Structure 1
Amino acid sequence: MPKQLKILLISKQYPPAMGGGGAHSFYLADALARHPDVQIHVLTSSAKNMPPEEKIRDKNLFIHRIDFGHSMALPYEPAIQKGLQLCKDICPHLLHAQHTGGSLIGLHLKASFHLPLLVTLHKTPIKWDKKIVERAPLYSYMKLLSQLNIIDLFIAGSQAFRRELQKIGVPEERIRFIYHGVPIRTLERLAYGRKKVLSVVQKLRLERNDNLIVCPARIDDRKQLDVFIKAAGLLRKELPDKTFKFLITGSTKTKAEVDYKNHLESTSRSSGVRDCLRFDTFDFEEIPALYRLAKACVLPSSREGLGLVLLESLAVKTPVVVSKGMGVTEVVKTDERHGLFFLDGDHVDLKRQLVRIFTNKELVSRLRKTGHNRVKKHFDADMMANNYLKVYKEMIQ
């Protein structure tokens, strides 16, 4: 075993870019880098106003940013070239690729340097049928590569993902289960940081009596955001004495996302909440303060790998209201104890659960305490990092 274990973590997403995969990579890298016998190098995509090379102060953590675009000849060619150079310069002991983009880059590096390759997937196809190979050929590719021993191990960040990997056809002996985790103490500190709180308050123009409800989700029809908006309209009518602000934190990049946002804006007008609904994004370090200022965090999608945003919300003691679907039931294990469930796709039931947040102080107090305790016990980033270290060491022995 080397005196200092060197890991090359490959992740297209990384702060300041938002997304569950990027947040997971950040939390993992940060927790691992606190171990004196571990050195972490993150290969990630370029970001505005961020340096191409960065050494994180007082940590064995190095960030390498490069264009993750494609050339005519090869997907992710600039990132692959950068990865090849990093492998020459730093001589990592292991490659850890995040999701499909990172996996493709990792495969090139593994082929050139014969390094162990670990893959963490962050989403799988929403519909499984005989045409899955046509619609999502990469998953069949992953299956083939795992069976040919090209990808050494897969990490499942939830039991739901473990089942999905098995559906893809990944052999059980190539799967390791480690829950995703969040840095609870760091999130708590950021949640109460005066500058971050003030920034969120000013951005949303929050007044003292405003009741903020956050839906932290991509602008994607799979997230069922229209359910959230329709429930918001009913909630406003049922509690007319309260002033509400509803927030969806996703942004739009593709035409499909723009079209879906237009649909959501139309839904908000017909639901009577266009004047109090915001679509906005926030800096990575503002998110904990945003959740703490909210009365509730809502996740209406029927399918999540785990729901990292739920962990972030519960870490700062904000109640969560979720659709009882895949993945999230591992976070909200018990209804009315760790969070509130509503029937999948049922905006009336979502409204009913939100009313309880505003009319039952005893329930809210219990949700804050027990939800937070569940995250501390099962989803702490340091625990996650320690479990990853065990897998890393297993792979290089």
Structure 2
Amino acid sequence: MRVLHLNSGLLFGGGLERIIVDLMLKNRATENYLCIINNQWDEKCLEGIDRERILLCNRKIGGKNPILTLSIIYKIYKFIKRNNINIIHCHNSFALKFGYVLKRIIGVKVILTVHDTNAYYKELNRYPVDKYIAISKSVYNIISEYVSTQKIGLIYNGVDLGHYSNQIKDLDKKKTRVNISCVARIMPEKKGQDILIKALNVLKTKYNYNEFKCTFAGAIHDPKSMDHLNELIRKLNLKDNIEFVGNVENIEKVYGDTDIFVLPSRYEGFGLVVVEALASGCSVIVSKLDGPLEIIKEDEEHGLHFEKENYKELAYKLNKLINDPIYYNQYKNNKKTQEYLKREYSLENMIERYNKVYRAL
């Protein structure tokens, strides 16, 4: 099998991008190729990939020149023919449109992985392909409203669990500071960093707890959103408690220093960072959204949840973890959770499940 992974961009730090790179580098059973349509890519993401297997189209964002679009389609067409590629694996709606056209032109098989619950579902009927992959049950359920379930598969995103060492983290009387972290693109309209900041203010003012440091790791999506977050931090007098560190290459080091990991998203298809944090032995709190809940379970077997937007409930959960060691020890570095992650969310399992889909096309 020869598979072309097709996406609009490949920027460092995103969960979707990590999945593409892992499939390129670690799927030994498939010959993988990569095409990035737009000029949004990082050299760091391409490290280790054979450059002969990469096609960078470098289309400018916002360009609407139909002749340029046709030239890019022709360029991808020649790349497919030259490398005898028989499957295109699209990873977002922009790539889907190109994949659909190429399917019509040369009859190549096309699959689409849908990575989010706030997505482009109506386009699934407009640009039909051979197979759709949902990354969570919630995404699966939404896709099934537009596409026959016979054409939908469910494959959870996987993590290279060996990257994340399980460090014992203990909140006891000797600990002088609790480390909280949020790993997500700085995009509060989706990822909810402002919700966590408000919760930290409640933790400080209502629960009188100030011995914490919260690290936000992730690229800035929009400078205006960053300005808003900084103004909120200034207003709430939390400057000494919060740090933004941008994209972190060795993100496992952030998890290794983390006692409590929080993903306060407003919407989320899955939440790969939740798996990473659990694999690193962190206690985890997530918004009560279908994607993250599939990981931690609604009965809070593997982590805690709070109602979306409810920063006061998030503050309550943070305070309880910090001040109740017995409660905290239910979730930190849990052996049952580690076994569960290996069974459901290992990178090896994800790759094998994709290979089964490729072979069946």
Task: Compute the TM-score of the two structures, normalised by the length of structure 2.
Answer: 0.85
User: 2:53, 2:321 → 1: CA distance?
Assistant: 43
1:359 aligns with 2:323: yes
1:101 aligns with 2:94: yes
User: 2:293, 2:223 → 1: CA distance?
Assistant: 30
Aligned-pair CA distance for 1:19: 1.5
Q: For structure 1, which runs of at least 5 residues remain unmatched after alignment?
A: 127-137, 192-207
Aligned-pair CA distance for 1:154: 0.5
Structure 1 residues 52 and 31, CA gap change in structure 2 (3 angstroms): closer
Matches within 5 A, 1:27-46: 27-32=22-27, 34-35=28-29, 38-44=30-36
Aligned-pair CA distance for 1:269: 2.3
Work out which of the residue numbers 108, 116, 122 in structure 2 matches 1:115: 108
Aligned-pair CA distance for 1:105: 2.4
Structure 1 residues 95 and 274, CA gap change in structure 2 (3 angstroms): same
Match of 2:172 in 1: none
Partner of 2:196, secondary structure, is helix
Work out which of the residue numbers 321, 340, 343 in structure 2 matches 1:377: 343
Work out which of the residue numbers 343, 346, 350 in structure 1 matches 2:310: 346
Matches within 5 A, 1:110-149: 110-125=103-118, 139-146=121-128
Work out which of the residue numbers 21, 33, 56 in structure 2 matches 1:26: 21
Q: For structure 2, which runs of at least 5 residues remain unmatched after alignment?
A: 168-174
Work out which of the residue numbers 144, 152, 155 in structure 1 matches 2:133: 155
User: 2:344, 2:76 → 1: CA distance?
Assistant: 33
Residues 248, 280 of structure 1: 8 Å contact kept: yes
1:165 partner letter: I
1:175 partner letter: I
User: 1:360, 1:244 → 2: CA distance?
Assistant: 15
Partner of 1:327, secondary structure, is helix
Partner of 1:103, secondary structure, is helix
User: 2:220, 2:149 → 1: CA distance?
Assistant: 37
Residues 321, 340 of structure 1: 8 Å contact kept: yes
Aligned-pair CA distance for 1:210: 4.5
Match of 1:17 in 2: 12
Q: What CA deviation, in whole Å up to 9, does each residue of 1:295-342 have, x standing for no partner?
A: 111111242111111011112111210111221110011544300112
Residues 10, 97 of structure 1: 8 Å contact kept: yes
Aligned-pair CA distance for 1:238: 5.8
Structure 1 residues 237 and 76, CA gap change in structure 2 (3 angstroms): farther
1:67 partner letter: N
Aligned residues: 349
- State which drifts further: 258-267 or 235-244: 235-244
Aligned-pair CA distance for 1:386: 0.7
Match of 1:129 in 2: none
- State which drifts further: 299-308 or 152-161: 299-308
- State which drifts further: 179-188 or 46-55: 46-55
User: 2:108, 2:242 → 1: CA distance?
Assistant: 49
Work out which of the residue numbers 346, 355, 359 in structure 2 matches 1:389: 355
Partner of 2:124, secondary structure, is helix
User: 1:52, 1:371 → 2: CA distance?
Assistant: 30
Aligned-pair CA distance for 1:48: 7.1
1:186 aligns with 2:153: no
Q: What CA deviation, in whole Å up to 9, does each residue of 1:35-56 have, x standing for no partner?
A: 3xx2111223556772898664
Work out which of the residue numbers 176, 184, 190 in structure 1 matches 2:153: 176
- State which drifts further: 78-87 or 153-162: 78-87
Q: What CA deviation, in whole Å up to 9, does each residue of 1:227-273 have, x standing for no partner?
A: 200111122346657532222234334xxx33333322222223221
Structure 1 residues 76 and 234, CA gap change in structure 2 (3 angstroms): farther
- State which drifts further: 302-311 or 239-248: 239-248
Q: What CA deviation, in whole Å up to 9, does each residue of 1:337-385 have, x standing for no partner?
A: 3001122221121111112332233433332213333221211111111
Work out which of the residue numbers 2, 8, 29 in structure 1 matches 2:4: 8
User: 1:51, 1:272 → 2: CA distance?
Assistant: 36
Match of 2:301 in 1: 337
User: 1:124, 1:272 → 2: CA distance?
Assistant: 34
Structure 1 residues 114 and 336, CA gap change in structure 2 (3 angstroms): closer
User: 1:51, 1:80 → 2: CA distance?
Assistant: 26
User: 1:298, 1:357 → 2: CA distance?
Assistant: 12
Residues 68, 78 of structure 1: 8 Å contact kept: no
1:338 partner letter: H
1:248 aligns with 2:220: no
Q: What CA deviation, in whole Å up to 9, does each residue of 1:78-102 have, x standing for no partner?
A: 7545422320221112110001122
Matches within 5 A, 1:149-298: 151-167=129-145, 169-188=146-165, 209-218=176-185, 219-237=187-205, 243-253=211-221, 257-283=222-248, 285-298=249-262
Task: Compute the TM-score of the two structures, normalised by the length of structure 1.
Answer: 0.78
Partner of 2:112, secondary structure, is strand
Matches within 5 A, 1:48-59: 50=43, 56=49
User: 1:183, 1:297 → 2: CA distance?
Assistant: 19
Identity of aligned residues (%): 24
Match of 1:321 in 2: 285
User: 1:334, 1:281 → 2: CA distance?
Assistant: 31
Residues 322, 340 of structure 1: 8 Å contact kept: yes
